[in-house]
């Protein structure tokens, strides 16, 4: 099985960890981030996922940006978002094919637009 998965055994956890640390740094408000603590948390979550045959878990930068932009203060928003996604996939999947990719790209771009530091981009 290890030979079938190949480099994915190393690459997927590394990408998930890097994305998680990027999310932490983006929303840390200048506080220091303990990458070791994040790695241990992701490891424990990965071990728990293996007992339930779940996919590798990790944070999503786009979802975190949307949550922060909408004024979310608790982690309960993740549960709410998960329930909404499950309901949307259950009942509206057939209609998703009609949404143009440009519209989806516009939603993502508008969600992360406020994260761009213009003074860094335009000196």
* CB-side neighbour CA atoms (13 Å) of 59: 23
Residue 68: CB partners within 8 Å, gap ≥ 6?
27
User: Are 85 and 48 within 8 A, CB to CB?
Assistant: no
Q: What is the mean pLDDT of residues 13-36?
A: 83
What's the angle, vertex CA 104, arms to CA 106 and CA 93, rounded to 5? Answer: 160
At residue 17 the predicted structure's pLDDT band, cuts being 50, 70 and 90, is: confident
Please, how many CA atoms are within 13 Å of residue 100, restricted to the half-sphere of its CB? 3
- Residue 53's pLDDT is what? 87
Task: Report the alpha-carbon distance of residue 9 to residue 12 in Å, rounded.
Answer: 6
**pLDDT tens readout for residues 58-91:** 777 777 777 877 888 887 888 888 899 999 999 9
């Amino acid at each position: 099985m290890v030979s079938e998965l190949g480099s994915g055994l190393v690459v997927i956890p590394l990408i998930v960890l890097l994305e998680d640390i990027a999310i932490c740094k983006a929303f840390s408000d200048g506080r220091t981030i303990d990458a070791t603590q994040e790695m241990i948390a992701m490891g424990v979550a990965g071990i728990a996922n293996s007992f339930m045959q779940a996919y590798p878990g990790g944070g999503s930068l786009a979802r975190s940006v949307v949550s922060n932009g909408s004024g979310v203060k608790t982690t309960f928003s993740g549960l709410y978002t998960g329930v909404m996604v499950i309901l949307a996939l259950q009942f509206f999947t057939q209609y998703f094919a009609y949404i143009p990719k440009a519209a989806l790209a516009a939603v993502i771009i508008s969600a992360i637009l406020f994260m761009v530091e213009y003074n860094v981009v335009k000196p």
